[in-house]
């Protein structure tokens, strides 16, 4: 994947949470995301993976503070954008236009009192002011179709849609401006396994079709292994290991990575770290 042209380069990013005692949430993290690549960011709660994603998009607010590093976005046009130096208007334009985000609770961040249609139209009125009303509607329908939601649901309100559908709508909104990078922070964690699988399949297909890159953040390593090109394992604000999904799965170098891998018992394979067997081999189990 490394031969691909990069879309985002992060160099030694550091983020602190200032407080009674300062917490170094992200420490000197560097990561290059190739065009069209899915990079998985795996780690447990508090490892700084979300903070990193927010830092990249300049979405952090006090008491979080970026204390060092550089984030460069390599635009399709060949222009390089220094993200951390963007100011209000440019930053807003950059955010949804070049890089969009889907959050874990995103399905709950839909406005309950306006219809899906007007919320999707808002994206265009903000970022594409010269688009006509008709075009906006057409594009919204097209987007819903793209993520597998019946365009007839445009007039629906958030509470009329299931969790999986709402998350699809959020993905549609994130796709609205044809971004080059999507940051997804636990987008399926709150969903059931079956729905999660559907959404993942959808994301993979869309990536294939539209060619955007994804930074996918989750604690669920087996899921990440299946969808990512490369995976970064994060702990205590640092990237411990970065490699292709295959390398991580078969040839993990770091002890913590191996521990994470063994933390997920295999559904169909062998027992791994699990001391309790089925009733028949209980006697042989190692305590």
Partner 1 sequence: MTSEIINDSSAIREEGVDDLIRPREPTSSDGRLKRLLTKKFIIGAVVVLAIVLFGVVGPFFSQDPRAINNIGLTPPSSQHLLGTTQIGADILAQLAYSTRGSLIVGVSVAALTLFLSAFFGILGAYIGGVVDDAFSLFTNVMLVIPGLPLVIVIASYIQNKSVFLVIIVLALTGWAAGARVLRSQTLSVRNRDYVLASRVSGEKTWRVIAVEILPNLLPVMSSGFVFSTLGAILAEAGLSFVGIGATGALTWGTMLSDASNGQALLFGAWWWFAPPGILIAILGAGLSLINFSLDEVINPRLRVHKMPKTEKKVTAS
Partner 2 sequence: MTTLQVKNLCKDFRLRSGMKTSILSAVKDVSFELVPGRTIALVGQSGSGKSTVARMIAQLERPTSGEILLDGKPAATRGGGLKRYREEVQMVFQDPFASLNAFHRVGHHLERPIILHKIASGREAVRAKAIELLERVQLTPGEDYIDRRPHELSGGQRQRVAIARALAPSPSVLIADEPVSMLDVSIRLGVLNLLADLQRSENLGVLYITHDLATARHFSDHLMVMYKGEVVEEGTPDDVILHPQAEFTRKLTMAAPEPARNERFLRAAKNYPPRTQGSTAVEDQPRGVA
Chain positions contacting partner 2, by CB under 8 A: 44-45, 192-194, 196-197, 219-223, 225-226, 245-246, 249-252, 256, 258-279, 281-282, 284, 286-287
Candidates 29-37, 50-58, 226-234, 269-277 — which segment interacts with partner 1 by CB under 8 A? 50-58
Q: Is the dihedral of CA 200, 138, 210, 218 positive or negative?
A: negative
- Please, which of residues 84-143 interact with partner 1 by CB under 8 A? 92, 95-96, 101, 103-106, 109, 111, 119, 122-123, 125-127
Candidates 55-63, 143-151, 189-197, 220-228 — which segment interacts with partner 1 by CB under 8 A? 55-63
16 binds partner 1 (CB under 8 A): yes
Task: Compare residues 104 and 119 and give the one whose CB is closer to partner 2.
Answer: 104
Task: Compare residues 67 and 254 and give the one whose CB is closer to partner 1.
Answer: 67
- Asked if omega into 63 is within 30° of 0 (cis), the reply is yes
Annotate each residue in 168-207 with x if it binds partner 1 (CB under 8 A) or - if it does not, as one string.
Answer: -----------------x----------------------
Quote the longest CA-to-CA distance of the chain: 73
- Please, which of residues 224-263 interact with partner 1 by CB under 8 A? none
- Size of the residue set binding partner 1 (CB under 8 A): 37
50 binds partner 1 (CB under 8 A): yes
Note the residues at the interface with partner 1 (CB under 8 A).
16-19, 23, 25, 45-46, 48, 50-51, 54, 59-65, 67, 92, 95-96, 101, 103-106, 109, 111, 119, 122-123, 125-127, 185
């Amino acid at each position: 994947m490394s031969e691909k042209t990069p879309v985002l380069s992060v160099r030694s990013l550091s983020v602190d949470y200032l407080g009674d005692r300062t917490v170094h949430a992200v420490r000197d993290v560097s990561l290059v995301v190739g065009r069209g690549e899915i990079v998985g960011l795996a780690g447990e709660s508090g490892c700084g993976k979300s903070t990193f994603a927010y830092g990249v998009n300049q979405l952090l607010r006090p008491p979080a503070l970026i204390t060092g590093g550089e984030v460069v976005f390599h635009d399709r046009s060949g222009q390089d954008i220094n993200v951390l130096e963007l100011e209000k208007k440019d930053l807003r334009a950059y955010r949804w236009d070049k890089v969009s985000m889907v959050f874990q609770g995103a399905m709950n961040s839909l406005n309950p009192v306006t219809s899906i249609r007007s919320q999707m139209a808002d994206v265009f009125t903000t970022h594409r002011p010269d688009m006509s009303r008709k075009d906006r509607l057409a594009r919204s329908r097209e987007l819903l179709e793209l993520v597998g939601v019946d365009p007839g649901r445009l007039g629906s309100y958030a509470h009329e849609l299931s969790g999986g559908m709402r998350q699809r709508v959020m993905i549609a909104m994130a796709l609205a401006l044809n971004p080059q990078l999507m940051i997804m922070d636990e987008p399926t964690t709150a969903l059931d396994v079956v729905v999660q699988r559907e959404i993942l399949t959808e994301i993979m297909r869309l990536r294939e079709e539209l060619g955007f890159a994804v930074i996918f953040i989750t604690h669920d390593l087996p899921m990440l292994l299946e969808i990512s090109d490369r995976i970064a394992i994060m702990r205590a604000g640092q990237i411990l290991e970065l490699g292709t999904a295959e390398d991580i799965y078969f040839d993990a170098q770091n002890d913590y990575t191996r521990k994470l891998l063994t933390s997920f018992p295999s559904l169909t394979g062998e027992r791994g770290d699990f001391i309790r067997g089925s009733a028949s081999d209980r006697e042989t189990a190692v305590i």
